[in-house]
Homo-oligomer: A and B are copies of this chain.
Amino acid sequence: MANIRDIAKHADVSVTTVSRVINAHPYVSDEKRERVQRAMKELGYLRNQQALTLSTGRTQRFVVVLPYMDHPYYGLFVNGLAKAALGKDYRLVMWQTEYRLDQERQALDLLKHREVDGAIVLSHTMTFEEMETYRAYGPISVATVGAPETISSVHVDHYTAFQTGLRVLTEAGYEDVGIVLSRPDSPSSIVRQQAYFDEVASARERWVYSGYLTSEDGKRLVSAFLSEQERPRALFFSSDYVALGFLGEATRSGLQVPHDIAVLGFDGHPIGQAFGLSTMRSPNEDIGRALFEATFQEMTGAPVVQESLTVTYLSGTTL
């Protein structure tokens, strides 16, 4: 565990010279550079990242804030993030919040305590107002809509996206459509519901199914659906996983898809293809990549980014 001073001593130069060699700075004679490199090799020198971090003030880390690491919905985001981070020699500290406000605060506290250089928030319950109080400690980027101008955002405009999906259903001849949302009062659920009421003539309160987050929830929805006296002819889900949970259980319950009930998912997760799930493909991996870039660039003084990406219909057999 030789440090820079040991190397300096061993090569009979100053620590400054060693530092110059390490960082490939100019003004080092070939001879001394040679000596230093040999000393590093001989003593097995390994630069201590902690010390570097304290000295430079940069951690080379971002914290990624998300509700559940094991929810496949976030998989593609994280994939994009990971790839971008690798290219810039950055590390990702994952922070699972389970939608708990105190956990979101703890995650952003890392910023305050100089434990990370920035934060990438994929989903949050915290208000943007509160989030802005952390902004002074480093760049923050979100994957959600409605961010103030101090916070970078790369997201899908869920109003437009849902509008598009609902029009796909309409054009396919489905008039009585229900929608299946995750947390009822999340910003994305609110605008989705708004799009639904604005777009669908037969839209009605009771065909808004809220609180469906996982494939198990989707499975559970089947019985709720079957108990309706008057059922929609199609269901538009806000997540492929919930849609698949529903699809599997519905089929097992003897429902014919799409004859009895049509299903439209949202995400474009690969596993949906195996089951022929019709879905709206969301460019989540691109979003992950762009979020990383935005956060990274902001550190070098680049302005806040606000970008909205669009979804596309991915045809399947459940519609």
Quick check: A69 and B79 within 8 Å, CB to CB?
yes
Quick check: A94 and B82 within 8 Å, CB to CB?
yes
Chain A 66-86 residues near chain B, CB threshold 8 A: 68-72, 75-76, 78-79, 82-83, 86
Residues in B with CB closer than 8 Å to A78 are: 69-70, 94
The reply on A42 being an interface residue by CB < 8 A is no
| Cβ contact of A113, chosen from B46, B215, B241, cutoff 8 A | B46
* A83-B103 Cα distance, complex, nearest whole Å: 12
Residues in B with CB closer than 8 Å to A86 are: 96, 103
Quick check: A114 and B49 within 8 Å, CB to CB?
yes
Interface residues contributed by chain A, number (CB under 8 Å)? 55
Number of copies of this kind of chain in the complex = 2
Q: Scoring A residues 242 to 270 as 1 if CB is less than 8 Å from chain B, else 0, what string do you get?
A: 00111111001000000000000000001
Chain A contacts to B: CB under 8 angstroms: 46-51, 53-54, 57, 59, 61, 68-72, 75-76, 78-79, 82-83, 86, 91-96, 103, 110, 112-115, 214-216, 218-219, 241, 244-249, 252, 270-271, 273-276, 317
Known pairs A79-B96, A93-B94, A248-B275 / 19 extra A-B pairs, C-beta < 8 Å: A47-B113, A49-B110, A50-B53, A50-B57, A69-B78, A69-B79, A69-B82, A72-B72, A82-B96, A86-B96, A86-B103, A91-B115, A93-B93, A214-B270, A245-B271, A245-B274, A248-B274, A252-B276, A252-B317
